[in-house]
Amino acid sequence: MAVTIEDIKKLKELTGVGLTDAKQALVEADGDFDKALEEMRKKGLTKAQKKGDREARAGLVESYVHDGRIGVVVEVNCETDFVARVEGFKELAHQIAMQIAAMAPTYVSEDDIPAEERDRVKAELMASDDLAKKPEDMREKIVEGRLSKHFAEQCLMNQGYVLDDSKTVRDHVTESIAKLGENIVIRQFKRIELGVSE
């Protein structure tokens, strides 16, 4: 298959790489756009995971109000002021605020769940009647699975992404890291719903 300039531009746009890298990927994939895109995503995500350790203290605070009933304020950090002003970063922050409004998470990630809350839920799950007849070692595994499931929807990063349910919020943030070339961290958020107090 021939490599077209349209495909090169499209691949560059979707992955955030330079024109030369986009062309190289298409040449290596014999002009197969989908194959080139898949390879670029794999490379980009690998790079994004390496960037995950870098300090992110720049960024912005984004707000979103839905129908005058739900309000969200979220702090999304990146490494530099330059990226904080880039449209793609602003768009990501807005999408995260919309996600929080729609899905009402309690925590950013599993790391934010207080140990006492985890222990409380674990104790409740351990006391369930259907576990009484199971062997001890099996009970522990079953409860761990139920515990993960219980907290999955409460953790923003584990939720299905509302604009594309084929991926999680974590996947979406990782893709943005690959595109923007900097570590991105969702630091904190506050969600307020009319008539509902904590």
Whether 102 and 121 map to the same domain: the answer is no
Cβ-contact 63, 82 below 8 angstroms: no
Structural domain contains residue 173: yes
One-letter-per-residue 3-state SS of the chain: CCCCHHHHHHHHHHHCCCHHHHHHHHHHCCCCHHHHHHHHHHHHHHHHHHHCCCCCCEEEEEEEEECCCEEEEEEEEECCHHHHCCHHHHHHHHHHHHHHHHHCCCECCHHHCCHHHHHHHHHHHHCCHHHCCCCHHHHHHHHHHHHHHHHHCCEHHHCECCCCCCCEHHHHHHHHHHHHCCCCEEEEEEEEECCECC
Domain that holds residue 75: 58-108+154-193
Structural domain contains residue 198: no
pLDDT tens across the length of the chain (198 residues): 678 888 877 777 666 666 677 778 888 888 887 887 777 766 665 454 555 556 778 999 999 999 999 999 999 999 999 999 999 999 999 999 999 999 999 999 988 999 999 889 888 888 887 877 777 778 888 888 888 888 888 999 999 999 998 999 999 999 998 888 888 999 999 999 998 876
Question: Rounded to 5 degrees, what are φ and ψ at 176?
Answer: -70, -35
At which of 29, 51, 73 does a domain end?
Answer: 51
Q: What's the CATH code of the domain at 160?
A: 3.30.479.20
Number of domains in the chain: 3
Structural domain contains residue 22: yes
Structural domain contains residue 98: yes
